[in-house]
Amino acid sequence: MVELSGVHKLNHSNPERQLSWECSNTDDCLGLDGECLESITQIQILWESFKDEDTQIIKYEVALGSTPGGTQIKPFYEVDRYQTSELVTNLDLSDVRRVYATVRGYNEAGLSSTAVSNGIFVSRFSAGLLPLRPFTIKDGVTSNDLHDLDFQASLTDLSASWDFSGDPCPIRKYEWAIYRIDGVESQPLTDVGGNYITQTIRVLG
């Protein structure tokens, strides 16, 4: 089972082009799976319909937790036997880093089986909230643990370190640029990938 990242709106003028909120096999489901949630009040989850060889599924129950299989955010509640998706609303995810969804399906014999999602990070940035700790950028240093410098001895190298980890949603890509104090661009925004939190370049001239 998976979580969708977006806040989806129905387009009534063009129902043909609606994103299907259903997935019938694992690959389809994972293709819709989100890594970061853009809302702090609601989440859309999807699951493959449970298969039982002997009896029918008579009901599903859904819960949300901050740990895999947990129910801290929303205890189990019943949803229809024909559902394979659920929009959970009226949530407050402002203090939650990651959400995990769990679905339990019950067969006619009363036996249940459970599916747990792989989790989705709450993107405070997307929701317009402040990060859990401030984003920081320091110049002249090669580690964000060091203090920002206002002077440096090297005439050839420039360093900067940054920390954007205050948003639970992981940063996929960083770009950095360098401007002289008079506004002249020494280096345009340059992709340094997703893993770097510090960068040094050689400045010629």
Binding site for Ca ion (CB under 5 A): 3, 33, 118, 120, 139, 148, 150
User: Min. distance of Cβ 77 from Ca ion in angstroms?
Assistant: 21
The answer to whether the CB of 105 falls within 8 A of the CB of 60 is: yes
User: Min. distance of Cβ 89 from Ca ion in angstroms?
Assistant: 19
- Complete edge-to-edge strand list for the sheet that includes strand 198-202: 136-139, 157-163, 198-202
Nearer to Ca ion among residue 33 and residue 61 (C-beta):
33
Nearer to Ca ion among residue 63 and residue 106 (C-beta):
63
Cβ-based neighbour number of residue 165 at 10 Å: 15
The answer to whether the CB of 119 falls within 8 A of the CB of 37 is: no
SS3 6: coil
Give the integer Cα–Cα distance in Å for 104 and 102: 7
Nearer to Ca ion among residue 63 and residue 120 (C-beta):
120
User: Min. distance of Cβ 173 from Ca ion in angstroms?
Assistant: 19
Nearer to Ca ion among residue 108 and residue 170 (C-beta):
170
Give the integer Cα–Cα distance in Å for 205 and 57: 72
User: Min. distance of Cβ 118 from Ca ion in angstroms?
Assistant: 5
